[in-house]
Amino acid sequence: MRHGDDGSGPGPAYRVLADTLRAQILSAQLRPGDRLPAESELCELYGVSRSTVREALRALATERLLVTRRGVSGGSFVATPEPGDIAGLVQSSLALLTSVDAVSVASLLEVRYMLEVPAAGIAAARHSQEHLQALDATIFDPSGEDPDLMFGANRDFHLNLLRATGNKVLEAVATPIFGVVYERFVRRQAPPEFWNRVDHDHRHILDRVRAGDVQGAEEAQRAHLGDLQPTYEQIDRERRANGG
């Protein structure tokens, strides 16, 4: 791998090493909790400098694939994946795409329909009492709440609805789509009637989930997304017109 140190080959040496280690993690050759060899061992094993190893490990830590622990028993370890970590990385990438208009709001909403409508039905079938309590805690009064508080409560409602499915993969995939839509197109821009509609729809969805009504929960979630779509599209048109 030493060919990358002088700028030749497929790319910077640290990137080549990071790609190699990433492939081992994703193929389960290295599993969550496994400790990587020490820096000196990696240098010898791959024929690269210590600075190259450090850059590669830093890149993988940024991707939440590795965690570093200090002390005698420390080192670099393969991370145990959490839905929030995965969702955060995906949301950052999607946010970059939307910032250059490579992804339209219509495309994001289309994916939300695909994921969140069936998710509401699954939540109705699988929810626990703890899930219902978490959803109850997100209900707000749109006539008197601060916009930032309503924004946070709205985000938490959808996150807890996804958690109520008991499917971590669905949570990790759907959460970033929702996050990009709201951060990019709704935060601080939505009119008061938007929050009135959110409150009404969330209460209806929660009622259907609480009742264990799978079809009713799906219909309520589909109607909710349909109710809000004109606001998303209007904000997006204004953003584009203003060069935002």
Q: Are 18 and 24 in contact (CB under 8 A)?
A: no
Beta-bridged to residue 67, according to DSSP, are 77
CATH of domain 83-241: 1.20.120.530
H or E element in which residue 77 lies: strand 75-78
Which distant-in-sequence residues (6+ apart) come within 8 Å of 78 by Cβ? 25, 30, 31, 32, 33, 34, 36, 65, 66
Q: Residue 7: is its pLDDT beyond 50?
A: no
Q: Global pTM?
A: 0.66
| Predicted pLDDT at 215 | 98
pLDDT digits (tens, 9 = 90+) for 193-202: 889 999 999 9
- The structural domains of the chain, with segments of one domain joined by +, span 2-78, 83-241
* Domain 2-78, CATH class in plain words: mainly alpha
Cα torsion angle, 48, 54, 59, 63, sign:
positive
Give CA–CA dist 116/157, Å, rounded. Answer: 12
Give CA–CA dist 67/204, Å, rounded. Answer: 42
| Predicted pLDDT at 5 | 45
pLDDT digits (tens, 9 = 90+) for 83-136: 666 666 666 666 666 655 666 778 888 999 999 999 999 999 999 999 999 999
